Structure 1
Amino acid sequence: MGKPLKVGIVGCGAIIAQYLANFRRLDQIQLVAVADLDPARAQAVADDYDGVRAVSVDELLSAEDVDLVLNLTIPAAHAEVALKAIAAGKSVYGEKPLAATTEEARRVLDAAREAGVVVGCAPDTVLGTGIQTARKAIDDGLIGAPIAASATMVTPGHERWHPNPDFYYQPGGGPLLDMGPYYVTALVTLLGPVVSVIGAASHTRNERTIGSGPRQGGKVPVNIDSHVTGVLVHASGALSTLFMSFDAVKSKSPNIEIHGERGSLVVPDPNHFDGDVQLFSLGAEDWETLPVSAGYVDSGRGFGIADLAATPQGMEPRAGGALAYHALEVMESVLESAHKGTAVAIESTVERPGSVELTVLAEQADALQSK
């Protein structure tokens, strides 16, 4: 309450650099410790970040000065690390997905509830000006009642640039579970919870070739569906279509489109925090770019933790565990539907997260101080 949230990070892989850059800008967060299975990686972070110590995972989880554990491990380890942190009395904020399966994710949420700690989860991109400006346009009635949406993510595969892409092609990875959290979380933020899904999926190659780094030319086995499509039925009646691929080359389609009775929106890439929102109104002659009107300005990875720190006690964070669980169940159910060939009902639901007023960094700090 008015004091920085003291954070320890488990996992010092590629994604940590983005968090560290933003932690340096966020007065609400004080990074105190880092840990990794490779001690040298943790030490490298500590050497470059004043006031941070490199420790073992067990030491970090038991540290009295760690309030929240930021879990940046691979998806298969998300639940294990989160449960250990919760058992140590720590709140947890994880990279997406919340866990490799909904069963594991439910254990995390149940344990957190029993321990009285908070669970947050990426993506926090939905808190930026791109998705939030689109949400405000919908809430203000600029497109009328939403009818449908489409979400498209096409890439020939992360092995082309990632030096250690193995986990992308194992259970817990794949285009849907890797990139789908950005799109599904955005769709739920924009259109509300999902009640059922229909899916289809394909698997085109049994191995991938690493394209960069010291393992360049090495082979990675593929044990997931590498191309997935799905239809999400929202509780509002709107229908969203997903197209997630590690097989195709490129798409010229917008990342997300939302269509309503009186207009259509082009929503920017949900893997980014900003971007233009375009509106085509019924009877208009061309698209118009809407002014930035909502969301955290100039935000990045880690803002979800700062938002969590400013959330009143007892309230679910905007980038919270309940939303992450719902998104994970939606994605898991799309894959289940693809394998069964039938529609799958979604058992969980979640309240549409609260909107974010247009907020610059200084105002965000002031909001935390006033809590």
Structure 2
Amino acid sequence: MGGPHSVGIVGLGVISRQYLDLFAASSSVRVAAVADLDSERAAQVAAAVPGARALSVNELMADPEVETVLNLTVPAAHADIAHAAIAAGKSVHGEKPLALHVADGRAILDAASAAGVRVTSAPDTVLGTGIQTARRLVDDGVIGRPMAASATWVSPGHELWHPAPGFYYAPGGGPLFDMGPYYLTSLVHLLGPIVAVTGAARRARAERTIATGPRAGERIEVEVDTHVSGLLEHAGGAVSTIVTSFDAVATTSPPIEVHGDRGSLVVPDPNMFDGEVRLNELGDDGWRAVLASAGYEGSGRGIGLIDAVAAGGPGRASGALALHVLDAMESLLRSSAEGRRVTLDTAVERPPLVPLTPAAQWSR
């Protein structure tokens, strides 16, 4: 048996803390190096992680110790960093989305295949006990034949809390590209791949005003649609709907509902790893909570990489799945722009169910 899998992190923004915390709890993965445009930030992070070194991006790519590059840059840089890592003979695990466009995402996977390296991608929240327990109920036939689902995420906008929210309103941002991957990836796990979509998208305002931090009061341009609704047709025959918005205050709708001809499920927030699954079967008096029966317990961001390392391949958070979700998002926007139903160009196998796996097991 070899030592832990060595990771080099590029991009040390807010989300990096969650990855660092998970890797610190795992003996199968270690952080060997970190890089950021802010070299002082990189030095501070490296000093807090035993064995990690602060490097430039080029140095990290060339470092023979780094086996996988964890790409936590802004969406516009995802493809460039992925290609640099692949060219250096390293695997890539990236934040969502895989790239800004399907063509870019496909080029990443093609390059990785030619180089014999692996591409995996967020979101891996779907591998926690919340989505996976709901998946097990669907697989076990508890709700009968799956017929429909709905997914809803709304917010008044990230400029109200984020001190530098510009990338949320640039290409690769917006509610669909920011939050849609959690919901669409969950729907693929629950109902299978998507074959066609019909979308409607709108942009409520041309500018947003930063509300917090040193740039409070500064206006930023909105370059993307900020409300996207869509109808999704799944290969197995089910039809689902999705709403993502930066133009709404709140909702009482569950994050995800799944309906079959014998029962319905309320599925917890796919941006989290756990949460209560509720079931209402035909003839029941109401909803009841279901005990967790599948998924990685106590997991966090980065579990998809650990899953892939354990599998010796792309695992359940594969680049192919991320490309399929990217295709669905791009197709929803194209459908809205062209006023027609759009058939997806990609297909993907539904990832295997994650058996109920205690933290003591996956963290070994």
Specify the alignment match of 1:342 in structure 2: 340
What are the equivalent positions in structure 2 for 1:121-140 lying under 5 Å apart? 121-140=121-140
Specify the alignment match of 1:325 in structure 2: 323
TM-superposed CA distance for 1:311, in Å, is: 0.9
Paired with 1:268 and 1:12, the residues of 2 have a C-alpha distance of 28
Paired with 2:207 and 2:147, the residues of 1 have a C-alpha distance of 39
Amino acid at match of 2:99: A
Specify the alignment match of 1:146 in structure 2: 146
Structure 1 stretches of at least 4 aligned residues deviating more than 6 Å after TM superposition:
none
Paired with 2:337 and 2:229, the residues of 1 have a C-alpha distance of 12
TM-superposed CA distance for 1:242, in Å, is: 0.5
Stretches of structure 1 that go unaligned for 5 or more consecutive residues are 367-371
Paired with 2:362 and 2:49, the residues of 1 have a C-alpha distance of 23
SS of equivalent residue, structure 1 residue 310: helix
> 1:346-371, CA deviations, whole angstroms, 9 ceiling, x for partnerless residues?
111100001110001222245xxxxx
Specify the alignment match of 2:52 in structure 1: 52
TM-superposed CA distance for 1:3, in Å, is: 2.7
Q: TM-score, normalised by structure 2?
A: 0.99
Stretches of structure 2 that go unaligned for 5 or more consecutive residues are none
Paired with 1:182 and 1:322, the residues of 2 have a C-alpha distance of 15
SS of equivalent residue, structure 2 residue 164: coil
Specify the alignment match of 2:25 in structure 1: 25
8 A Cα contact 2:93 2:121, kept in partner = yes
Amino acid at match of 2:109: L
SS of equivalent residue, structure 2 residue 327: helix
Paired with 1:122 and 1:217, the residues of 2 have a C-alpha distance of 32
Paired with 1:71 and 1:316, the residues of 2 have a C-alpha distance of 16
> 1:32-66, CA deviations, whole angstroms, 9 ceiling, x for partnerless residues?
10001111111111121121111100000000000
Paired with 1:269 and 1:81, the residues of 2 have a C-alpha distance of 29
Specify the alignment match of 1:356 in structure 2: 354
What are the equivalent positions in structure 2 for 1:174-253 lying under 5 Å apart? 174-253=174-253
Paired with 2:106 and 2:4, the residues of 1 have a C-alpha distance of 29
2:314 to 308, 313, 316: 316
SS of equivalent residue, structure 1 residue 30: strand
8 A Cα contact 2:34 2:53, kept in partner = yes
TM-superposed CA distance for 1:135, in Å, is: 0.3
SS of equivalent residue, structure 2 residue 195: strand
Root mean square deviation, CA, Å: 0.9
SS of equivalent residue, structure 1 residue 233: strand
> 1:290-344, CA deviations, whole angstroms, 9 ceiling, x for partnerless residues?
11100000111011111111013xx431001000000000010000001100000
TM-superposed CA distance for 1:210, in Å, is: 0.7
Paired with 1:162 and 1:61, the residues of 2 have a C-alpha distance of 30
Paired with 2:228 and 2:196, the residues of 1 have a C-alpha distance of 16
8 A Cα contact 2:75 2:173, kept in partner = yes
Q: TM-score, normalised by structure 1?
A: 0.97
Paired with 2:33 and 2:2, the residues of 1 have a C-alpha distance of 21
Specify the alignment match of 1:369 in structure 2: none
TM-superposed CA distance for 1:2, in Å, is: 4.7
> 1:216-244, CA deviations, whole angstroms, 9 ceiling, x for partnerless residues?
11111001000000000000010010000
8 A Cα contact 2:25 2:363, kept in partner = no
Amino acid at match of 2:326: L
Specify the alignment match of 1:161 in structure 2: 161
Distance 1:123 1:280, change over 3 A: same
Amino acid at match of 2:338: K
Paired with 2:292 and 2:328, the residues of 1 have a C-alpha distance of 30
> 1:233-282, CA deviations, whole angstroms, 9 ceiling, x for partnerless residues?
00001001000000011011100000000000000000000000000000
Amino acid at match of 1:342: R
Paired with 1:248 and 1:99, the residues of 2 have a C-alpha distance of 26
SS of equivalent residue, structure 1 residue 195: strand
Amino acid at match of 2:76: A
Percent of aligned pairs with the same amino acid: 58
